[in-house]
């Protein structure tokens, strides 16, 4: 019997939307048979900046029990799903800083031959969802990793319309995550686990 896929879901979230998607992905992957680590990246903003935003401060408190990701978690994983809010159409500094700590593993070739995917949240409907995921995937190409996007490979993707990864526009915090986003997140998790499992079995053969 093959060993389960080891999946690290690594995200940054300021006000909780990315964290909620990460949890949906984590739960779906576990149901699909994966061994999952749900992990956040370190907060880089000052305490004063966080405290000045009620939603941000509330999420930091609510997320306190989630462990912070380390390079060891990426080395452990067969697959990694990264999540981030967009920042001017790009990856958040908190997630990017974590990715930048992986240079030692990259130099050893440890990041290659793994499966990677990503998800994103924005404040507005066209606020950089695709550009953020494409920017994230640039790093994966340098890793020698295998990008596994959801694509248009299931009816749920024709509903949300984003082949690059799960995405959600929170309308400045007023639009809660609904079934469209949750269905996309679950499908993305299942697809990543399925492809990573096939790859793992292939390498073992």
Q: What are the boundaries of each domain within the chain?
A: 6-204
pLDDT in tens, 29-51: 999 999 999 999 999 999 999 99
The pTM of the full predicted model, rounded to 2 decimals, is 0.97
Cβ neighbours of residue 134 closer than 8 Å, sequence gap 6 or more? 164
End-to-end CA gap in the chain: 12
pLDDT in tens, 44-92: 999 999 999 999 999 999 999 999 999 999 999 999 999 999 999 999 9
For the segment(s) 6-204, the CATH number from 3.40.50.360, 3.20.20.70, 3.40.50.300, 3.40.50.720 is 3.40.50.360
Q: Cα angle vertex 146, ends 145, 150, to 5°? A: 140
The CA distance from 113 to 110, in Å, is 8
């Amino acid at each position: 019997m093959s060993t389960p896929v080891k999946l690290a879901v690594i995200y940054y979230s300021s006000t909780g939307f990315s964290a909620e998607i990460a949890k949906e992905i984590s739960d779906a992957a576990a149901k699909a048979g994966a061994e999952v680590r749900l992990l956040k990246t370190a907060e880089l903003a000052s305490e004063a900046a966080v405290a000045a935003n009620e939603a941000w401060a509330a999420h930091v408190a609510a997320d306190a029990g989630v462990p912070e990701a380390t390079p060891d978690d990426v080395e452990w994983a067969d697959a990694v799903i990264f999540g981030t809010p967009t920042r001017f159409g790009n990856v958040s500094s908190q997630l990017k800083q974590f990715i930048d700590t992986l240079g030692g593993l990259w130099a050893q070739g440890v990041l290659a031959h793994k499966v990677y995917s990503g998800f994103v949240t924005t404040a507005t409907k066209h606020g950089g969802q695709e550009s953020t995921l494409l920017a994230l995937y640039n790093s994966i190409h340098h890793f020698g990793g295998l990008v596994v996007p959801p694509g248009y490979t299931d009816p749920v993707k024709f509903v949300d319309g984003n082949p690059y990864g799960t995405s959600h526009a929170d309308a400045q915090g007023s639009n809660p995550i609904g079934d469209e986003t949750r269905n996309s997140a679950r499908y993305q998790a299942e697809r990543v686990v399925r492809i990573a499992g096939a790859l793992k079995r292939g390498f073992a053969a």
